[in-house]
Chain A
Amino acid sequence: MNKAFWGLVRKEFIQVFRDRNMLRIVFAVPIIQLLLFGYVVKLDVKNIRMDVYDFDQSRLSREFVNSTSAGEYFLPTPAQIAILDLEANFQDGSRDMALIIPDGFGKGLESHQNVTIGLVADGSDANMTAIGSGYMARMAQKYARDVVNLRMPLEVKYDVLYNPEAESVYFMVPGIVATLLTMVTIMLTSMAIVRERESGTLEQLLVTPISSTTLLFGKVFPFAVLGLFEMTVALVVGVLWFDIPFVGSPVLLFGLSALYLLTTLGLGLFFSTVTSTQQQAMFFAWFFSVFAILTSGFFTPVWNMPKWLQYVTYVNPMRFFMNIVRGIMMKGAGVTHLLPDIYTLAIFGVIVFGFSAARFSKRAR
């Protein structure tokens, strides 16, 4: 049993490291994805194009507008109040935000009263919205404190159009970690098994004394290792390069990732039993991954989805894993906080892996 198992594992690794495309998937993909996500997210929040509706037209209001252009975060453009149509410029994509300075802004500041300004953002760009409104809040505070020497805060009232839930940048890396682990393990496992079927080597193995259990574990184990390796790469790059905070326990994260792998490897196994070519397997894995990513809360929070779709997310194991990764990395969640997710993943794992293993063994006999 053991010799055959390690023989399979050894062979699988030789094949992975000999296949240039496989190497690219294993090493380049996580880094490229991280860099892309990381930089796109970082660069997007500079040069926010902003209409300024200045109802006050005072010295202070002009001074404040000028101050917002510091640091290249905002590109303020005076807008004609006569045609106050905020959405027109959002819809053609020429502006990202609109700043509204009410009449009495200057007087209010001078008399040290509580002053409120308005900020409307195009919420279809969630990251820009979240970060841009944060900048504006800080700039308003800074202006009020440093320039006008105001004790009362300068309050910014937000209104985010189109998408009230704005994601934070730090949500991205945990999301990528979960995505990578899901996609890599499902895709590589299903393709590696189907490749053996395509080339007839699986049939050759079936007439040898190797047991179907050994064969099964020998085929999935290497990809569990590769999946965790990818995850490690993503984490290291995320923490060291993008300064993503990692609050919780890495040991817990890896332990629960291993639990989650039971489901993804099971899915890979399952896809390999319903397809007969590597292309088909890849298509299945791809389709499932897209579904899993979109309904996992990676980009759009689950509670922001239509009701019926929220129910659909309950059959998506990645949704629960996403909670776990974000919980551990960002909030330092421990086992007790994550218990419902852990139970759910355990049930998913046992059912999916058990069912697929039975299917695989029945076919492999």
Chain B
Amino acid sequence: MSFVSVQGLGKSYRGVRAVNDFTFDVRQGEVYALVGPDGAGKSTVIRTLCGLIDSDTGEASINGFDCRKQFNHIKPILGYMPQVFSLYPDLTVTENLAFYGGIYGVVGPEYLERVEYLYRFSNLKPFADRRAQALSGGMKQKLALSCALMHQPKILILDEPTTGVDPLSRRQFWEILLQLKEEGVTIIVSTPYMDEVARADRACFVFRGEKLAEGKPAELPGLFEGTLYYFDGPPTMETIDRLNRLGDIRARRFGGGVHVYLKRGITLDEVTPALSEMGFDIKDFNPIKPDLEDCFIQLMEES
């Protein structure tokens, strides 16, 4: 039986649809990632799960309890980290931790033990007396995570925890998440970063409030249809515009080069004359295996 269940979730804000018929399940102990650009509807799904908004349609439940009607039963096992830093900037690291200790009823020796544990993985102990506002982005996120973990939740829900955090801190943050998974914590995390998806057990592509695809990170690129080439030339706007002018090709800047998608059923041979005519050397187009981002972009464009 699934630990988290979301069935046919729908939510509109003033007539604008944020999430439409959204369905997914998460098993206990799983790390589940919701991936998508800003405004895709990830936060709406997460905030519904955390009982902060009521959906218009559909149902959401955690551990068998309805997120709307029985949210009080969920609170004790839930740790939530919202998208914006939501601790008290004028309190120190310790004061923030102590505050959440009080809120969750973790006090006395139990609190001291818990704080030691939280300091161990967050490495925040040297900054114990520093005010939260003076922490770096990465440290802030680790402090927020520590507070959300104060009561040893069974499920952790994180809304874009690594947005605006430097790459090194992002990696450290994910290492902490994977360590928590080892301890049996179920994790639902949203992110705009494709590279983080690979670390999840399963991921779900979200775009315009719809679920585009869902699966294991290794399997998702298999959903890519057609063929993909890497154009080893300067990724200028002009080059990309010229490539896109050919109807059967979609070109997109990718790192230092250009990814060229050929639509289903079209081969490179068929577009070679046109490419040559435009002055491209066909040897510069090398077939590559699509990755998660290629897959997501294709799904987005087709939706």
Contact = CB atoms under 8 A, between A and B. Distances in A.
Interface in A198-215: 199-201, 203-210
Contacts of A365: 51, 71
Contacts of A19: 90
Contact of B86 (A14, A18, A201): A201
Nearest to A205: B103
A361 to B, nearest CB: 13
B88 A6 contact: no
A3 to B, nearest CB: 5
A207 B80 contact: yes
A210 B80 CA distance: 14
Contacts of A201: 86-88
Interface string B85-112: 1111111000100111111110100000
B78 A200 contact: no
B91 A204 contact: no
Interface residues of A, number: 23
Contact of A11 (B71, B75, B95, B151): B95
Contacts of A200: 82, 84-86
A15 B90 contact: yes
A3 B103 CA distance: 7
B86 A4 contact: no
Interface in B65-85: 71-72, 75-76, 78, 80, 82, 84-85
B88 A15 contact: yes
A104 interface: no
B104 A208 contact: yes
**Chain A contact residues, majority secondary structure:** helix
B52 interface: yes
A206 B47 CA distance: 11
B50 interface: yes
**Which of A18, A201, A207 is the most central at the interface, judged by chain B CB atoms within 10 Å of its CB?**
A207
Interface in B21-36: none
A205 B50 CA distance: 11
A11 B85 CA distance: 18
Contacts, number: 72
A10 B102 CA distance: 10
A118 interface: no
Nearest to A1: B105
A5 to B, nearest CB: 9
A8 to B, nearest CB: 8
A245 interface: no
A7 interface: yes
A207 B50 contact: yes
B99 A11 contact: yes
B245 to A, nearest CB: 46
B102 A7 contact: yes
Given A201-B87, A201-B88, A7 B103 contact: yes
Contact of A3 (B75, B85, B105): B105
A31 to B, nearest CB: 25
B75 A207 contact: yes
**Which of A8, A18, A208 is the most central at the interface, judged by chain B CB atoms within 10 Å of its CB?**
A208
A6 B99 CA distance: 9
Contacts of A10: 99, 102
A199 B86 contact: yes
**Which of B82, B99, B103 is the most central at the interface, judged by chain A CB atoms within 10 Å of its CB?**
B103
B107 A3 contact: yes
7 contacts: A4-B102, A8-B102, A8-B103, A10-B99, A201-B87, A203-B52, A204-B87
Given A3-B107, A8-B99, 9 more contacts: A14-B91, A199-B84, A200-B85, A203-B52, A204-B86, A204-B87, A207-B51, A209-B104, A209-B105
Interface of B: 50-52, 71-72, 75-76, 78, 80, 82, 84-91, 95, 98-105, 107, 147, 151
